[in-house]
A and B are shown apart, each in its own frame.
Chain A
């Protein structure tokens, strides 16, 4: 049987969980291994950018670091990071707020699923980048169009995962609650919603990851600030060191956001991630 802890690959919450290969690698060794791997890639990058393909189009790690430091000194990087994160946060939250209840409603009530499923199935194959131009045409070049694209990115991932969560609720959990005389609302609030939580969190986590990709796409076109704007603007001026610095910042922010999400999930939602 599929366990909750497998659905969202958070750190183990149960001593019974099969430890996998992680048990063979002590945590300190794992950190050292990851650090060594990153160092090796940086060295490889240095060699490639200086010896194999030396070009202004391919900055070295040191040049990238200089570009990054310059942007920090000028105060532009922090501003652009703030702008991008703000857009991601609003779009992501809106996508989650709409996706979760809609996913539960579609999972619980067949008529709602029948009506909405064709649209969900259709639109989930239309990538967010395809919506950038229509969004600009409809909402203008301001914040709304960017937030819309991030909302669109998040909402289907959250919705589909939530639906999957509702479908995966153990039938006996529902049956027991019905034996106890639970009303529809009690069934929803005390059984369906908490049982779906691991799937909701998985959807949110995937949605957040994809939001970082979407924000760059949205900021490539008609933006005056944001990490996507930094990347495209630097590319236009052949400032490839700054372009790479923007990309690295994006990746690092993504890792940080993911780690923060995992930490918050463990802190506030660990009981919903318990194995059955």
Chain B
């Protein structure tokens, strides 16, 4: 049964202008890791923002546990591509404590829970550092710890590893994979990286090129965890998704050529 449902979503920025997304339908099961890939500008982040409650769809409705999304709520936590959502005046520990402070959790309890969340993402020993003194990968871990500490059932991740170096990205993918299995959160993961999507997700949704973007195909990733990037099955899935995505990218390029 679907936990998150996008029903015939249309979206445009402002009234005159094309629809960025048209007739977008998607169902995500409870505890599922759903990845969305698509050509640049197809509206992947917009889909995430609509589920987060940051954007209101022009038409259609998003349901979480059969309740319509009316705005941001603490059952849906976002991990942004840029770690600028962290508060630079707070330490790593205080940043992770922040959602608990908003909830009114006692100081001692939130300290303990935040420290545990930081430990779970491998940041023990860095509690007193401010975000400006952490590397990009560490900042993303703090964001992850902040999402974990709140125990929000849904985590929305907008290309969280896109700005990191290749090695850090691989390490964080491994860790996120383990955390996802361990915590059984429902995750919507936006990415450009097909490898990343196959490595992490239970299903990969491939979006068409915008405007009027929608889901073109959903690919089931039925690979055992932990997944091996070099396996034949992994490669086949990569080829399958890459072919669909390439068609969309070529469509964008043809359109751009015709405009020149």
How many angstroms between the C-alpha atoms of A272 and B88 in the bound complex?
7
Q: Is the CB of A179 within 8 A of B78?
A: yes
Closest to A197 in B: B89
Partner of A181, one of B54, B73, B87: B73
The yes or no answer to B85 lying at the interface (CB within 8 A) is yes
Interface string of A238-276 (1 = CB under 8 A from B): 000000000000000000000000000000000110111
Using a CB–CB cutoff of 8 Å, the interface residues on chain A facing chain B are: 1, 3-4, 14-16, 170, 172-173, 175-182, 186, 190-191, 194-195, 197, 271-272, 274-276
Partner of A175, one of B52, B99, B102, B103: B52
How many angstroms between the C-alpha atoms of A272 and B130 in the bound complex?
10
Q: Is the CB of A272 within 8 A of B89?
A: yes
Interface string of B125-141 (1 = CB under 8 A from A): 00000111100000000
How many angstroms between the C-alpha atoms of A181 and B102 in the bound complex?
7
Q: A172-B84, A172-B85 are in contact. Are A14 and B132 (CB under 8 A)?
A: yes
The yes or no answer to B67 lying at the interface (CB within 8 A) is no
Q: A14-B132, A172-B82, A276-B132 are in contact. Are A179 and B88 (CB under 8 A)?
A: no
Within residues 31 to 58 of chain B, which ones have a CB less than 8 A from any CB in chain A? 52-54
Q: Which residues of A contact B82 (CB under 8 A)?
A: 172
Chain B: residues with Cβ within 8 Å of the partner, total of 31
How many angstroms between the C-alpha atoms of A178 and B150 in the bound complex?
13
Q: A172-B82, A176-B85 are in contact. Are A190 and B133 (CB under 8 A)?
A: no
Min CB gap B127→A, angstroms: 15
Partner of A4, one of B80, B88, B101, B146: B88
Partner of A179, one of B73, B84, B90, B101: B73
How many angstroms between the C-alpha atoms of A113 and B79 in the bound complex?
32
Q: Which residues of B contact A274 (CB under 8 A)?
A: 88-89, 130-133
Interface centre among B52, B76, B98 (most CB of A within 10 A): B98
Q: Which residues of A contact B146 (CB under 8 A)?
A: 176
Q: Is the CB of B85 within 8 A of A180?
A: no
Q: Is the CB of B103 within 8 A of A181?
A: yes
Q: Is the CB of B88 within 8 A of A276?
A: yes
Q: Is the CB of A180 within 8 A of B150?
A: yes
The yes or no answer to B77 lying at the interface (CB within 8 A) is yes
Q: A194-B89, A274-B89 are in contact. Are A179 and B133 (CB under 8 A)?
A: no
Interface string of B115-127 (1 = CB under 8 A from A): 0000000000000
Q: Is the CB of B102 within 8 A of A173?
A: no
How many angstroms between the C-alpha atoms of A172 and B77 in the bound complex?
12
Q: Which residues of B contact A175 (CB under 8 A)?
A: 52, 54, 72, 78, 80, 85
Q: Is the CB of B132 within 8 A of A194?
A: no
How many angstroms between the C-alpha atoms of A170 and B72 in the bound complex?
17
The yes or no answer to B229 lying at the interface (CB within 8 A) is no
Partner of B132, one of A16, A173, A180, A191: A16
Q: Is the CB of B87 within 8 A of A194?
A: yes
Q: Is the CB of B133 within 8 A of A15?
A: yes
23 A-B pairs with C-beta separation under 8 A:
A14-B132, A14-B133, A15-B133, A170-B84, A172-B80, A173-B86, A173-B87, A175-B54, A176-B85, A176-B146, A178-B72, A179-B73, A181-B103, A186-B102, A190-B98, A190-B101, A191-B87, A195-B87, A274-B130, A274-B133, A275-B132, A276-B86, A276-B132
